[in-house]
Structure 1
């Protein structure tokens, strides 16, 4: 729903200029990024319209304007995070060596400045276990990982191992505080996908 439709304006409302659309999209993105920061700092329970708007430095009514409920805000944050992850996977899959490209991208995700976002993204991802409405979005991340693996091997067991291994690497790194380099990650991924030689 566009901000105009949400605001209840009819078809006779003047067309929104590109500048207003761009400003609205920037505010929406700022709110989604703020939601991830709130999740990282306070957990999912800390997400309210007010806390997210304050984190984004926007008026308290902003989050409710763009997202009708906290569930809608959490879903949108998970969709946004999944879109970012899908883009990362697509870029890796298009590289001459997808496994090396993915290893480098995952190492960058685990770098100090990105870790809080990765932790928040996983918290939203795991929330899908309790909220069935989030499962299609979370499933997309699993399916995108599988697609990259299938491009490297026809072995269904290796595809499953690869999906599980990537999640395991990321989660264990978050839990232990380890920051594996691209070479360490690549060695594990190649063990999981033996057909994907450099």
Structure 2
């Protein structure tokens, strides 16, 4: 009996994950306004009733999609930090990797659209704050100045938007340089340019 329950649970978790991924694809391709239970189920090649079964409201579906995307960034940044990466370089790397053309660019576009939707849907705001808080935590490793911390959060979000709009993206080096500038840290000694 336990194996049957575990099997159903695993299938349910897979279906839920498929619906969340489908939601991000619908938002990236068609915009958040086109997200319906039916559209998401169709995108996931699932029965129409499955989206309603797992997500009673559209807000539940949108929150789950934005949460999944945010948690992916949080996980990647934490892995880089735990791996010994210098914090600003780790943040620049995660931002650049997510926005790389041919990479996760469409997903970043979907995240931006959902983040903007948070202005109208309060249920999305805590998820947006989670990412901003993590960027602020990285900034606080370099400064206690609250204005510099806010500037770093704004720069990280602005760089991501710039990368989505740019045909060639924004490189990790460029992102890291801007973040260092905002935080007043300059380049690490190993990366400092040679004096003429």
Output the TM-score relative to the length of structure 1. Answer: 0.86
The one of 86, 91, 94 equivalent to 1:105 is 94
1:81 Cα deviation from its structure 2 partner: 1.7
1:56 aligns with 2:56: no
Choose from 113, 122, 137 the match for 1:132: 122
| Structure 1 unaligned blocks of 5 or more | 1-13
Q: Please provide the CA RMSD for this pair.
A: 1.7
Separation in structure 2 between the aligned mates of residue 84 and residue 136 of structure 1, nearest angstrom: 16
- The Cα offsets for residues 101-153 of structure 1, whole Å up to 9 and x where unpaired, read as 22222211112221000100111111111112221221111111101111222
2:145 matches 1:155: yes
Please list, as runs of the form range in 1=range in 2, the aligned pairs for 1:1-198 lying within 5 A after superposition.
15=2, 17-94=5-82, 95-111=84-100, 112-195=102-185, 197-198=187-188
For the 8 Å contact 1:31–1:56, the answer to whether it is kept is yes
Q: Is the 8 A contact 1:89 1:148 kept in 2?
A: no
Q: Which runs of 5+ in 2 are unaligned?
A: 189-196
Find runs of 4+ consecutive structure 1 residues off by over 6 angstroms.
none
**d(CA) in 1 for partners of 2:133, 2:98:** 19
Higher mean C-alpha deviation, range 149-158 or range 86-95? 86-95
CA distance in 2, matches of 1:135, 1:106: 20
Q: 8 Å contact 1:153–1:196 — kept in the other structure? A: no
- Relative to 1, partners in 2 of residues 1:25 and 1:194: Cα closer, same or farther, differing over 3 Å? same
C-alpha deviation, 1:55, in angstroms = 0.7
Q: How many positions carry a matched residue from both structures?
A: 185
- Is 1:162–1:193's contact at 8 Å kept on the other side of the alignment? yes
Offset at 1:197?
A: 4.8
Report the Cα distance in structure 2 between the residues aligned to 1:127 and 1:121, rounded to whole angstroms.
Answer: 10
Partner of 2:192: none
Distance 2:57 2:117 in 1: 16
Q: Aligned partners of 1:152, 1:17: CA distance in 2, in Å? A: 49
Deviation at 1:61, TM superposition (A): 1.4
**Can you list the C-alpha shifts for 1:18-71, whole angstroms capped at 9, x where unaligned?**
322222111111110100000011111111111111111111111111001212
